[in-house]
Each structure stands twice: as structure tokens, then as C-alpha cells.
Chain A
Amino acid sequence: GAGVSQTPSNKVTEKGKYVELRCDPISGHTALYWYRQSLGQGPEFLIYFQGTGAADDSGLPNDRFFAVRPEGSVSTLKIQRTERGDSAVYLCASSLVGGQSTDTQYFGPGTRLTVL
């Protein structure tokens, strides 16, 4: 079946612009995670959704970052007034149950964001 998909695969933008990154999780997965990965680092947790609600957004670095999942499936990560330091690969992952379970997280291929 289809895995997690993310669009666009690459995004180049200018400092100060607004960007939206989209994640389509595996069908039926209630849990959705966003991570950010910089070169030479492991993925850094940003936000976790259980269904439509953000159960944990403690990883969002500041108020320029916001994410939604209005119907409990597709999620959009929104970054306002982008800065060069936002350049990274943004990864989305989904899992069947999430929460305190240990079910497997399946990652999408990521969106490579470059802020010039």
C-alpha cells in the first residue's frame, strides 16, 4: 500500500517568505509527527497530532511555526517569515495508534527546505 507522502520534495524560498509543507500519512493512521533534520543531526521532534488535535507541540522552535491537521489525515506545517536557519529536511511520520504505544513510525521522504 501507499506509504507516507510529502510535498513538495524540495522547496527553495527567500528569507522572509511564507511556506507550507504537506504530509499525507498512511491511510487509517491516527498519529502524525513532524520532525526537522539538519545536516549531520538526527531528526528533531517538532509536533505530534493524535487525530485532529496537537497533543504535543513542545518541539516547535518559535511562533513562526504552526501545524494543522483539520480532518485527522493530511497535515500542513506552516512557517512564517522564514529565516536561513530554517533550512533543513522536514520529515513527517505516521503511526497507527501513537500515544503511549510503541507502534512503528513510518517516515515520509521529507521536504528539503532551503531558505536563501
Chain B
Amino acid sequence: RKEVEQDPGPFNVPEGATVAFNCTYSNSASQSFFWYRQDCRKEPKLLMSVYSSGNEDGRFTAQLNRASQYISLLIRDSKLSDSATYLCVVNFRGTYKYIFGTGTRLKVLA
């Protein structure tokens, strides 16, 4: 089993739709969680960190469920510019390694 797993998609959604991605992780000692966004042939960029209590940044909401070992990303009112690959990232306690998922591709359609 991979340490961090994501549905690769693609998720094709119309503009204005709400879309949610999940990411599961295998190591219960994981301590830090992030969502990164990566555009085609570009470098990853931090979208948001994920906190235990859940957090929101504009149209984006991230949730953490430690009991079930998954994190989620919800995007409301999707824009064409949201089309990208969304990478789930986990850092395990006591290590410096950041483990990336394979990414979930999102295509927002006009």
C-alpha cells in the first residue's frame, strides 16, 4: 500500500460546481498535512496547510480526519483557473520527509 494515496481523476466538472478530493495516508504517526497545486509542466505551489480543526481559505476548505487517516479538499464555485493537479502531502512525525500523493487532476469546463 502506498504511503499516500489519491484518486488520479481526472475530475471533469462544470464552472460553478463544487468538487471534493480525498487523500488517504497509511502512517498514523503523520503530523503535518498540505495540499499543493501543480499546473501542467510547472512546479508545485502550496495551496494550503491542513489543520486538525479544519480550515478554509476563500472557496477552498481542507479537512483532516485522523481516526480514518484521510484529508480532504473541497472547492466551491469552481473556476476555469482551478484546472490543475492537486497534490496531497504528508510529513511523518520524527522525519524530514514530505510524502506526495500522485495527484488528482481537475478540469473545470466552461
Contacts and interface: CB of A to CB of B under 8 A. Distances in A.
Mutual binders A and B: yes
Interface of A: 33, 35, 40-45, 48, 50, 55-56, 58-59, 91, 98-100, 102, 104-105, 107-110
A102 B32 CA distance: 7
Contact of B96 (A42, A44, A99, A108): A99
B8 interface: yes
A107 B43 contact: yes
B87 interface: yes
Q: Determine chain A's interface SS by DSSP, over half rule.
A: loop
Interface string B1-13: 0001000100000
A41 B102 contact: yes
Q: Determine chain B's interface SS by DSSP, over half rule.
A: strand
B43 A56 contact: no
B54 interface: no
Contacts of B98: 33, 45, 105
A45 B97 contact: yes
A59 to B, nearest CB: 7
A100 B45 CA distance: 20
Contacts of B34: 102
11 contacts: A33-B98, A35-B100, A42-B87, A42-B101, A45-B97, A55-B96, A56-B97, A59-B97, A91-B43, A108-B43, A109-B43
